[in-house]
Amino acid sequence: MKVVIKVGSQAILSPEGEALEAVMTNIILQIIELQQAGHQVILVSSGAVALGRGISRKIVAREYGNSVADKQLLASLGQPQLMAIYTKICEQQQYLAAQLLLTKYDFQTKRSYTNILRLLQKALSQSNVITIINENDSVAVEELMFTDNDELSGIIAAQIGADKLLLLTSISGVYDKNPLEADAKLLEEIHLKDSLPELDGKTTLGRGGMSSKLNTARKMASVGVMTHIANIAEPNVITRLVLGTDKIGSKVIPEHKQTARKKFLAFTQGQAQAQITANWGLVAALSKHDAISILPVGIEASNGNFKRGDLIEILNPAGDKIAIGVARYNASKLQEYIGGKNHPEFIHYDYLHIDHDAILAGTTK
């Protein structure tokens, strides 16, 4: 089984921004147990910015703000320390810790996507290597930032074709109302069709919150991946969720399965730097079929400079995003073909993810 585990800053750091090494050790030991049982595991760990903030307070008594520049500096201070702790824990168990830092830019072209996947596949094939991923906050500008590491973990899970995604936090799961209220009820199972209460708020150290986790989990469910949202404080929570049948936290039930490629495309909405506008005839065809390619004859306009292999957003004539795919040729070649018949397909259906809900919403406005 392929498993992606995401732990938030609140789960592995104290409110003062100090590492909870006992918790981090427990996470690594559970991952080792899974890998020794034959499972392939990736850890997505937050904590660099908050740890950097704690270090700056302790060492130089300096309090940094929340500007992009301040957070970049804090990430550059905290990330080496974060990995030093994980590396020490891994080496004590005769394991190696592999680090991968990513931004949205790294997923915008087929070439960079392929390079990342090659590394992940190689790392997963090594039973004595534990791969630890974080957003590269030290270089990410706002437009290239993930919403949070929940989003990044979903992209990684989609990219490797994971069977399960575990989102571990300091809260026991998804509740039907504020969990501080006495009558709040834990939702043990969530389906895509379920109507849910408005969820807001976030942990004190991280960027995300329960709403972010649930959004990621529902995306994973839509492409056939089971997601668990649970409390890191539960004893052996990782191994129990993967190896057992215990009811822990909330699980979001998957629907139909998709290929790893289409799972990845489903998670790259909003990351493309170029767009095409489909005519209403093509929009109608996309609404009825999943196995349909995009031909130049169905394209009204193209916006942005792109190369073969880049991500392309597909808009309807009203400007709504309805799909995303991978270009088979560049922008100048598309301009030659646009609107014409008997030209090569621009996006093959194997490299196209259609957002049927968006198409339906666009037709009912």
CATH number at 278 reads 2.30.130.10
Domain identity same for 357 and 231 = no
Contacts of 265 (CB under 8 A, 6+ apart): 311, 324, 325, 326, 351, 352, 353
Alpha carbon distance 126, 260 (integer Å): 21
The encoded tokens of residue 216 equal 């990621």
Please tell me whether residues 222 and 120 are part of one structural domain: yes
280 and 258: one domain?
no
Pairing of strands 299-303, 274-278: antiparallel
Q: Enter the DSSP assignment of 157.
A: H
| Higher pLDDT pick, 234 / 214 | 234
DSSP-derived 3-state class of residue 321: strand
On average, the pLDDT of the chain sits at: 88
pLDDT of residue 176: 85
Question: Is residue 80 helix, strand or coil?
Answer: helix
* pLDDT at residue number 203: 46
DSSP strands (E only) in the chain: 2-7, 40-45, 96-102, 129-135, 164-169, 189-190, 226-231, 250-252, 274-278, 299-303, 311-315, 321-326, 352-354
Residues 305 and 196 in one domain: no
Segment 287-313 shows an average pLDDT of 91
Does position 187 have pLDDT exceeding 50, yes or no? Answer: yes
- Record the tokens describing residue 188, joined without a space: 């043990």
Identify whether residues 141 and 252 lie together within a single domain: yes
Under the banding of pLDDT at 50, 70 and 90, the label for residue 111 is confident
228 lies in the same domain as 98: yes
Pair 41, 123 in one domain? yes
In sign, the C-alpha dihedral spanning 268, 12, 116, 258 is negative
pLDDT, one tens digit per residue, over 166-179 is 999 988 999 988 88
Range of the domain at 303: 272-363
| Separation between Cα atoms, residue 24 and residue 228, nearest integer Å | 19
User: Do 113 and 251 fall within a single domain?
Assistant: yes
Q: What is residue 73's predicted lDDT score, i.e. its pLDDT?
A: 94
Q: Decide which of 221, 240, 264 is a domain's last residue.
A: 264
Is 148 in the same domain as 278? no
Q: Verify that 200 and 310 share a domain, yes or no.
A: no
Q: pLDDT digits over 244-258, tens only?
A: 888 899 999 987 666
Task: Compute φ and ψ for 299, nearest 5 degrees.
Answer: -105, 130
Question: Is residue 6 scored above 50 in pLDDT?
Answer: yes
Q: What is the pTM of this model?
A: 0.78
Q: 246 and 295 share a domain?
A: no
| Range name among 48-52, 89-93, 108-112, 149-153 with the lowest pLDDT average | 108-112
pLDDT at 205: 47
**pLDDT bucket at 123, cuts 50 / 70 / 90:** very high
CATH number at residue 248: 3.40.1160.10
| Per-residue model confidence as pLDDT tens digits over 207-233 | 457 888 888 888 888 778 899 999 999
Q: How confident is the model at residue 197 (pLDDT cuts 50, 70, 90)?
A: low
Q: Which tokens is 22 given?
A: 């006992």
Structure tokens, 261: 């490629």
Is the pLDDT at 204 greater than 70, yes or no? no
pLDDT at 322: 92
Instruction: Single out the residue in 264, 280, 295 at which a domain terminates.
Output: 264
Q: What is the pLDDT of residue 241?
A: 95
Residues 232 and 283 in one domain: no
CA 97, 53, 235: angle at the middle one, nearest 5? 50
Domain final position from 264, 293, 309: 264
Q: How many domains does the chain have?
A: 2
